[in-house]
Amino acid sequence: MFQRYEDHDDGLRAQFQSPGERSALRRAGRSNPRCLPCPTCGRPDRLTPADRAHGYQCDECADRDEGRSFGMDG
Ligand SMILES: [Zn+2]
């Protein structure tokens, strides 16, 4: 797979995430724009239609659910 994303920086960012940032979200692209709000925090433009179809929430909410918040619970 040697697709070029130079004209679409959403795709570029999704493809080259920093190692600590493990995301379940689908890669955004021309046919899958990141245009939907997160169902949990309500922030706009967090999810793609594919994300929503899988019932995902945004990275920040997913991180919180995974217990990566700082000292709030546990
Ligand atoms: Zn969210």
Neighbouring residues of the ion ligand 1, judged by CB less than 5 Å: 38, 40-41, 57-58, 61
For the chain, report the end-to-end CA distance as a whole number of angstroms: 42
In the reported structure, the alpha carbon of residue 1 is separated from the centroid of ligand 1 by a whole-number distance in angstroms of 30
Q: How far apart are CA 68 and CA 4, in angstroms?
A: 33
Q: What is residue 52's predicted lDDT score, i.e. its pLDDT?
A: 94
In the reported structure, the alpha carbon of residue 32 is separated from the centroid of ligand 1 by a whole-number distance in angstroms of 18
- Tens of pLDDT, residue by residue over 28-68, are 999 999 999 999 999 999 999 999 999 999 999 998 888 86
Contact 57/48 with Cβ under 8 angstroms? no
Please tell me the pTM assigned to this model. Answer: 0.57
Strand partners, 47: 36
Chain mean position to CA 64:
14
Q: What is residue 51's predicted lDDT score, i.e. its pLDDT?
A: 94
The answer, yes or no, to whether residue 14 has pLDDT greater than 60, is no
In the reported structure, the alpha carbon of residue 70 is separated from the centroid of ligand 1 by a whole-number distance in angstroms of 17
Structure tokens of 47? Answer: 């999810």
- For residues 13 and 61, which has the higher predicted lDDT (pLDDT)? 61
